[in-house]
């Protein structure tokens, strides 16, 4: 265990024990526990929101995870929850719980910028369907979170709000594109974050920041209400989902984001829990996806997860994911051909920052090569790959796999052609899950050299319950990794731009 790891663990334990009666501060608690305490009158929703606002004022200037703090609206919503409880009314299962929301998801009265300076005043007139559902269940949007421009980098920075910083290390990425939510949750700015995942964008930041995330099945959560055009690639490959510190919180949020179709033609009102599967549950562990070596730290995290699942009664067997290389190519072809809203793409320099333009000029030829042999019909090939994976799941209903086969990269890596060249291969398992519309849960399993690591548990479509159960079994057998204070180096050399 490294000196940094000892510092982090002792810091968490010390802050827990320093509270009166060994009670932790409110910002350290899970969403599930906070909802219980609010409902039983141990604490008010206003007190919970105020505790998180104080934490935000202390920490966000260092990490730059939040782009807009909705303090007045959040306090008013908290007062409404408290009043409902006083009058014996039902405030909802997430009664008074603060949440953050990524800036590519509509929250009424705040800007949906997508990290783009030209959209700084694009104020949403109503909530996205699943945000409206969460509000109805009692959750309270407390802030908007940072993201890369267009959600198209695996690092969170943009020309509008600057860079979000990984609280574990000033030198490493927090991931992207839902990096703002991952950092916010990891540092206790909120117990719950809502992001999106079109190419690992929930799971990769979870790996970089040591938190949990759920990428739901295609069709579970309404994505579009038809008020703006949505490219086919994002309808097919992208989903909305939660980030949290605890699996129970993922489950709580997931339960309340699936009911409304919001006018989304992909929405499928499928029961949240599927039929029982044979016991013991068999799990395929992918240790060399597509023949690619994985980093020793990632391999260690994967093996630890396998050991913990074995202890919980699961049966682990090593194998490779079928058709993985072609799945990555088909994903890239669909995104390249159908990931835009206009026939002719404007020059990137005219719509994005110089930093993003630099990234895209480096990555575009790598992206083009990653498409492989053009498919006659990519959706036909997708169906064939889906059939192979369905047969695989028929033998082992769960897959345990890396998210990215490498740990959080050093800042600047995604602007370097050599470093960036291996991204399509290292992210194949993440994007295969998007291509096939499968659910996956990212769950942290350990720390190496001061950085957290996570794995993903993948299941057949609409079996989020199996993923969540397995992730909960892992979580129950390891100590908590978050919330944490940012590494002292961040405060000493912070250059983030805070809105």
Identify whether the C-beta of residue 177 lies closer than 8 Å to the C-beta of residue 145. Answer: no
Our answer to whether residue 177 is catalytic in this structure is yes
Cα distance between residue 294 and residue 491, in whole Å: 32
List the helix and strand counts (H, then E) for the chain: 18, 13
DSSP state of 123: B
Distance spanning both ends of the chain, measured CA to CA? 37
Which residue of the set 102, 169, 215, 353 is catalytic? 102
How far, in Å, are 50, 93, 155, 244, 344 from residue 41 at the CA level?
16, 14, 41, 24, 57
Q: What is the DSSP letter of 16?
A: H
Active site residue 353: no
> Which string of b and e fits 316-345 if b means at least 16 CB within 10 Å?
beeeebebbbbbbbbbbbbbbeebbeeeee
Q: Specify burial of residue 72 (Cβ count, 10 A radius: 0-12, 13-18, 19+).
A: exposed
Handedness of CA 445, 17, 450, 156 (dihedral sign): positive
Contact (Cβ atoms closer than 8 angstroms) between residue 443 and residue 212: yes
Residue 492 falls in the annotated catalytic set: no
Token pair belonging to 88: 């014996």
- Which one is catalytic: 45, 110, 201, 284? 201
Angle at 193 between CA 432 and CA 94, to 5 degrees: 120
Residue of 110, 177, 217, 224 marked catalytic: 177
**Contact predicate 150/114, CB 8 Å:** yes
260 torsion bin: left (phi>0), alpha (psi -120 to 50), beta (else) = beta
Q: Which residues are catalytic?
A: 102, 177, 201
């Amino acid at each position: 265990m490294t000196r940094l790891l000892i510092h982090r663990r002792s810091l968490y334990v010390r802050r827990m024990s320093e509270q009166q009666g060994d009670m932790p501060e409110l910002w350290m608690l899970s969403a599930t526990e906070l909802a219980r305490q609010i409902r039983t009158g141990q604490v008010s929703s206003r007190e919970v929101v105020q505790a998180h606002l104080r934490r935000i004022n202390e920490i966000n200037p260092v990490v730059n995870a939040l782009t807009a703090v909705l303090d007045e609206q959040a306090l008013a919503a908290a007062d409404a929850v408290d009043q409902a409880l006083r009058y014996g009314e039902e405030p909802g299962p997430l009664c008074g719980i603060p949440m953050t929301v990524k800036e590519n998801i509509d929250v009424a009265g705040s800007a949906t910028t997508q990290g783009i300076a030209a959209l700084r005043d694009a104020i949403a007139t109503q909530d996205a369907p699943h945000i409206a559902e969460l509000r109805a269940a009692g959750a309270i949007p407390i802030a908007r979170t940072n993201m890369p421009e267009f959600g198209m980098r695996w690092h969170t920075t943009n020309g509008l709000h600057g860079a979000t910083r990984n609280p574990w290390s000033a030198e490493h990425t927090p991931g992207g594109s839902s990096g703002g939510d991952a950092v916010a949750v990891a540092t206790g700015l909120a117990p719950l974050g809502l992001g999106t995942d079109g190419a690992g964008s929930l799971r990769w930041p979870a790996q970089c920041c040591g938190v949990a995330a759920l990428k739901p099945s295609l069709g579970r959560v309404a994505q579009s209400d038809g008020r703006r055009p949505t490219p086919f690639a994002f309808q097919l490959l992208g989903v909305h989902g939660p980030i949290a510190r605890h699996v129970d919180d993922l489950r709580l949020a997931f339960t309340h984001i699936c009911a409304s179709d919001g006018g989304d033609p992909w929405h499928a009102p499928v029961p949240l829990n599927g039929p029982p599967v044979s016991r013991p549950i068999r799990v395929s562990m992918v240790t060399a996806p597509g023949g690619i070596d994985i980093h020793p730290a990632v391999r260690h995290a994967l093996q630890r997860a396998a050991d913990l699942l074995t202890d919980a009664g699961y049966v682990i067997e090593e194998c490779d994911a079928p058709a993985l290389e072609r799945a990555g190519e088909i994903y890239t072809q669909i995104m390249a051909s159908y990931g835009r809203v206009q026939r002719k793409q404007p020059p990137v320099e005219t719509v994005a920052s110089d930093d993003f333009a630099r990234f895209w000029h480096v990555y575009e030829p790598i992206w083009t090569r990653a498409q492989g042999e053009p498919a006659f019909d990519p959706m036909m090939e997708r169906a064939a790959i889906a059939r192979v994976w369905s047969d695989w799941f028929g033998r082992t209903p769960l897959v345990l796999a890396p998210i990215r086969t490498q740990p959080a990269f050093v800042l600047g890596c995604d602007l370097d052609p050599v470093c960036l060249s291996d991204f399509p291969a290292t992210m194949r398992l993440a994007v295969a899950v998007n291509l096939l519309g499968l659910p996956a849960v990212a769950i942290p399993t350990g720390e190496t050299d001061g950085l957290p690591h996570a794995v993903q548990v993948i299941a057949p479509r609409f079996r989020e319950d199996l993923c969540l159960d397995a992730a909960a079994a892992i979580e129950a057998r390891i100590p908590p990794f978050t919330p944490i204070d940012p590494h002292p180096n961040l405060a000493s050399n912070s250059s983030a731009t805070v809105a």
